[in-house]
Homo-oligomer: A and B are copies of this chain.
Amino acid sequence: MTGQAVTAELLAVVVAMVDGRPSVLTLGEPPRLPAGPLLPSHRSLQAATRTWVEEQTGRRLGYLEQLYTFADLDREGVGELRPISVSYLGLTTPGEEPGIGGWQDWYALLPWEDTRTDTCALDAVAPHLRHWASSERALEAERRQRVAITFGLDGHAWQPDLVLQRYELLYESGLVPESPAEWRRPTAELAPGDRMLGDHRRVLATGLARLRAKIGYRPVVFELLSPTFTLRQLQDCVEALAGRAVHTQNFRRLIEQQALVEETGEVDADTGGRPARRYRFRRQVLQERSVAGTKLPTTRSR
């Protein structure tokens, strides 16, 4: 029994810190993720992804992990072959060379994911979410709870790695332009944030969710930093990824007691205050213990 012929497409969510902001590599307008079909010459899916990103953006990738495989009927196909999209998450540093394509601030694409400041991008849509929750009698209780948990309302804690769930809820409630026409609301009621081609924003959300979850149990942050850095830069990076602030002293304690970094001996005087020591990542820990990430000291009170 041989199956339907399909084409396999690779999609890459490539993340880097650009000017202190977590950003994703995109092409064109509306922005789209680097992508390309699997060709006979490609040894593996991962190799194919590297090849396409390099070819389309002129950048070499370091860290790369598989995210998810999509093949829903509603994805737009090329010709008659059903497209299967295998998505990957890549981490890199912006580097010197301009390359092709641009770095797009991911909080411009998913503004509600940034909770570091008090001005929450959600305030505008929160009433619409509540309205959606109560629009169907039978589902009201369930929907209310789902909204509250997913967006951290009504006393529920904000959970940073529910990125995908939040996007999907906005999609279902017609608050993003990607939502199917029958669910959509007047433009004035849309959630803020730039859209991307097709369902690429959904794939981005998948990547962001994975990344946020992963920094908690694997030392992947360092893939995004320059070889040496101050603890403040490390903290800024983690905060930017997690989209929330952490307790500085406790963060430092966690990093140090896990022996994730070692001093270089240099100091960085451009801090505006007391100069900061520079550190480098102890690559050996990748071997020493396969576990241990950058744990986030959370805040009990919100």
Interface residues, chain A, CB within 8 Å of chain B?
1-9, 36-40, 43-45, 66, 68-73, 78-79, 81-82, 84, 86, 142, 145-146, 149-150, 159, 162, 165, 287-291
Shortest beta-carbon distance from A74 to chain B in Å:
9
Shortest beta-carbon distance from A274 to chain B in Å:
38
Q: Can you sample 7 A-B contacts with CB below 8 Å?
A: A1-B37, A2-B79, A3-B38, A45-B69, A146-B287, A149-B288, A149-B289
User: How long is the Cα–Cα vector from A33 to B142 in the complex, in angstroms?
Assistant: 37
User: How long is the Cα–Cα vector from A6 to B3 in the complex, in angstroms?
Assistant: 9
Shortest beta-carbon distance from A58 to chain B in Å:
18
Chain B residues with Cβ below 8 Å from A3 are 7-9, 36-39
Chain B residues with Cβ below 8 Å from A68 are 66
Contact of B37 with A4 in the complex, beta carbons under 8 Å: yes
Contact of B44 with A73 in the complex, beta carbons under 8 Å: yes
User: How long is the Cα–Cα vector from A8 to B6 in the complex, in angstroms?
Assistant: 7
Q: Which of B73, B81, B287 contacts A145, CB < 8 Å?
A: B287
Question: Smallest CB-CB separation from A141: which chain B residue?
Answer: B287
Chain B residues with Cβ below 8 Å from A73 are 43-44
Q: Which of B7, B36, B145, B288 contacts A6, CB < 8 Å?
A: B7
Question: Smallest CB-CB separation from A48: which chain B residue?
Answer: B71
Closest 10 CB pairs of A and B: A3-B37, A5-B5, A69-B69, A3-B7, A45-B71, A4-B40, A44-B72, A6-B8, A69-B86, A3-B38
User: How long is the Cα–Cα vector from A38 to B159 in the complex, in angstroms?
Assistant: 35
Chain B residues with Cβ below 8 Å from A150 are 290
Question: Smallest CB-CB separation from A79: which chain B residue?
Answer: B2
Which of A7, A71, A78: most chain B CB closer than 10 A?
A71
Chain B residues with Cβ below 8 Å from A40 are 4, 82
Contact of A78 with B2 in the complex, beta carbons under 8 Å: yes
User: How long is the Cα–Cα vector from A40 to B82 in the complex, in angstroms?
Assistant: 8
Contact of B81 with A84 in the complex, beta carbons under 8 Å: no
Q: A69-B69, A73-B43 are in contact. Are A36 and B1 (CB under 8 A)?
A: yes
User: How long is the Cα–Cα vector from A289 to B145 in the complex, in angstroms?
Assistant: 10
User: How long is the Cα–Cα vector from A280 to B162 in the complex, in angstroms?
Assistant: 27
Chain B residues with Cβ below 8 Å from A6 are 5-8, 38, 84
Contact of B142 with A287 in the complex, beta carbons under 8 Å: yes
Chain B residues with Cβ below 8 Å from A72 are 43-44
Chain B residues with Cβ below 8 Å from A146 are 287
Question: Smallest CB-CB separation from A149: which chain B residue?
Answer: B290
Q: Which of B7, B69, B149, B287 contacts A5, CB < 8 Å?
A: B7
Contact of A84 with B84 in the complex, beta carbons under 8 Å: yes
Chain B residues with Cβ below 8 Å from A289 are 149
User: How long is the Cα–Cα vector from A43 to B79 in the complex, in angstroms?
Assistant: 18
